[in-house]
Amino acid sequence: MIIAHGALVPVPDWFLPFSVASNLLGSLAGAYVALGRTMRPDMKVESGFALLRGALAMVVVASAIGTEGLVSSGMVPREAALAAAIKWAMGDLVGILCVTPTMLLLTAPAWNHPDEPRRASSRSPMRSRRGRSACWCRT
């Protein structure tokens, strides 16, 4: 984060601790909320909603800390803090919603991958005479 602010998006030095803290504490809050309800990391709707709860917690914490940093460093006037918090939160939430599904699909085990069909079992009626699977089926 410090490298990004130093090289790509210059900000006042007073804002840097808020930026780092918002990302760190937001991530910790999101992980606590998502994993605190004994979420199992499998591809189920229940896990998806647990991750969404974690994402919302992350967004709220990060936007509160980040907005306070924007106001404290003079980058945003106090009157525009609510608009800045909403923009910060929506930016984080859109980023989470775009990146997370892709990362979950890329890191899912092949046997649990929702887009990869499974072969028919040896006892399946969908077998050809030569013993090879005649079709792919999803079980």
**Quick check: is 115 in a domain?**
no
**Quick check: is 98 in a domain?**
yes
Amino acid 85: pLDDT = 95
Q: How far apart are the first and last CA of the chain?
A: 44
Percentage of residues in the chain having pLDDT higher than 90: 31
Tens of pLDDT along 68-120?
999 998 889 999 999 999 999 999 999 988 888 888 778 766 665 566 566 55
- Helical (H) or strand (E) element with 51: helix 45-72
Q: Six-digit token pair at 49?
A: 């909603």
**Quick check: is 31 in a domain?**
yes
Query: Which residue range(s) make up the domain with 88?
Result: 2-108
**Quick check: is 119 in a domain?**
no
* pLDDT of 3 strictly over 70: no
Rounded distance between C-alpha atoms, residue 113 and residue 51, angstroms: 18
Residue 123 CA neighbour count, 13 Å, CB half? 0
* Number of domains present in the structure of the chain: 1
